[in-house]
């Protein structure tokens, strides 16, 4: 899900749309565990972090209603949607797909998935990210434009969701570039923590 916080949407120069969330995909090989040390990716000079709540689907969901959408959720995690921002913006300006900017190796960092049976379905709580100990992103899950139920219900109109699918739900304002040697840490209250080092 892209730009699921109003302030981030404004930061990116677009108007947020409550009615219609939008999506991009990352291939399974992009998944990388929290705590990893990864290389600065090729082809970019503007490599960004985006701290996000991740929803892990645990049961089939197709054309589900909002009131039933959370039945499909197994659990939640912290995620980093790492982005080659210069390539994403170039593609956006030319009305082209975002694949080069979003879908590449080691671009979907994820923490341990915590079952909803243990923590419930987080609808509020601080979501923060720091780079080298300096706070860069700070918001609350309650500020999401589309909540988890709305996202699942909408996405399931277009895809058969199934166990193992991961939905990164969008990032707050404060995204920015990182460089080799930087250490990224993030936290979502009630969900967990995440870390990443850029080699």
**pLDDT for res 115:** 98
For 7-43, b where at least 16 C-beta lie within 10 A, e where not — what string?
Answer: ebbebbeeebeeeebeebebeeebebebeeeeeebee
- Encode pLDDT of 146-181 as tens digits: 999 999 999 999 999 999 999 999 999 999 999 999
Confidence of residue 47 (pLDDT cuts 50, 70, 90): very high
- Encode pLDDT of 4-44 as tens digits: 887 776 777 777 666 678 899 999 999 999 999 999 999 99
């Amino acid at each position: 899900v892209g730009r699921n916080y109003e302030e981030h949407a404004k930061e990116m120069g677009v108007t947020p749309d409550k009615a219609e969330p939008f999506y991009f995909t990352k291939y399974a090989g992009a998944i990388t565990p929290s705590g990893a040390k990864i290389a600065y990716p090729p082809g970019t000079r503007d490599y960004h972090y985006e701290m996000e709540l991740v929803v892990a689907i645990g049961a089939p969901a197709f054309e589900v209603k909002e009131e039933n959408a959370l039945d499909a959720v197994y659990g939640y995690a912290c995620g980093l949607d790492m982005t080659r921002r210069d390539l994403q913006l170039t593609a956006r300006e030319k009305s082209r797909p975002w694949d080069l900017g979003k879908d590449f190796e080691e671009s979907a960092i994820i923490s341990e998935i915590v079952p909803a049976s243990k923590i419930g379905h987080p609808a509020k709580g601080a979501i923060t990210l720091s780079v080298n100990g300096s706070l860069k992103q700070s918001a609350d899950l309650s500020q999401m434009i589309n909540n988890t139920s709305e996202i699942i219900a909408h996405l399931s109109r277009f895809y058969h969701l199934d166990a193992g699918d991961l939905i990164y739900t969008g990032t707050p304002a404060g995204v920015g570039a990182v460089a080799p040697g930087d250490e990224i840490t993030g936290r979502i209250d009630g969900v967990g923590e995440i870390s990443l080092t850029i080699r």
